[in-house]
Amino acid sequence: MNMQKVIVAIDSFKGCLTSAEANQAASEGILMGNPEAQIVQVPVSDGGEGFMGAFLAAMGGELVEVNVKDPLMRPIVAPYLVQGDTAVIEIAKASGLTLLSPEERDPMVATSYGTGQLVVDAVRRGCKRIIVGLGGSATSDCGIGMLRAVIDSFSKGGSWDDVRELDEVHFTIATDVTNPLCGENGAAHIFGPQKFAPQGATHEQVLALDARAKRFADASAKHLGRDCQ
């Protein structure tokens, strides 16, 4: 076997192996067949587990740990990455599916509040660019929990209109899906069943989540002075 240089770049296996662990396992297998191979391991992510680690390997930075709430509002410690004025936040760290046992999985109650707490901490540290990887969440709350955390921290009047700390902050959302928010191909119908206990979501639960997303979209559109399509 003539193999001089090999690039290994494998995404994580949800709840099983991180990208780095999968790369290492594959590299060890390659070396068993060709001990002379030169292997370059590149951590990658689709926005889910390992997203922050992939950025850390690519650009370095400092890991910051924050006391936040998990998807069921229990206290945990979650990290995010800071490099200069850029923060990299992985939603799976604070609001991830792997933080819950199968019996606890219920997007009717799970919240992204903890991810919002990470955003708040990054803004308070002076970060002006925030990159959020959206994969691997336990939630189907349209990010309302995250917004609530921001409002709770920055708003004196209890409304998004009162939040000024984010005026100069630029957000980049990392995701590998193109589903619309609502409808039969929307978030609730496609991803909701993944986030329930092993038996899956009932039809009624999916419809309730979809209706919630539609109400959120309508309210957001009215706030922006647009029609919801």
pLDDT in the model for residue 73: 98
- Indicate yes or no: pTM above 0.75: yes
DSSP-derived 3-state class of residue 35: coil
Average the pLDDT over 60-80 and give the result. 98
Average the pLDDT over 206-212 and give the result. 93
Angle at 160 between CA 158 and CA 161, to 5 degrees: 100
Q: What percent of the chain has pLDDT over 70?
A: 94
Angle at 25 between CA 21 and CA 28, to 5 degrees: 135
Is the model more confident about 122 or about 11? 122
pLDDT tens column, 2-29: 557 889 988 878 767 878 888 999 999 9
Give burial (CB, 10 Å; 0-12/13-18/19+) of 83. middle
Res. 202 pLDDT band, cuts 50 70 90: confident
pLDDT in the model for residue 2: 56
157, pLDDT greater than 90:
no
Q: Distance between CA atoms of 14 and 8, rounded to whole angstroms?
A: 18
Give burial (CB, 10 Å; 0-12/13-18/19+) of 80. buried
Neighbouring residues of 20: CB distance < 8 A, sequence distance ≥ 6? 41, 43, 50, 53, 57
Angle at 153 between CA 151 and CA 155, to 5 degrees: 50
Which of 21-25, 92-96, 98-102, 162-166 is least confident?
Answer: 162-166
Average the pLDDT over 153-161 and give the result. 77
Which of 15-29, 73-87, 88-102, 123-137 is least confident?
Answer: 15-29
Average the pLDDT over 115-143 and give the result. 95
Average the pLDDT over 144-166 and give the result. 84
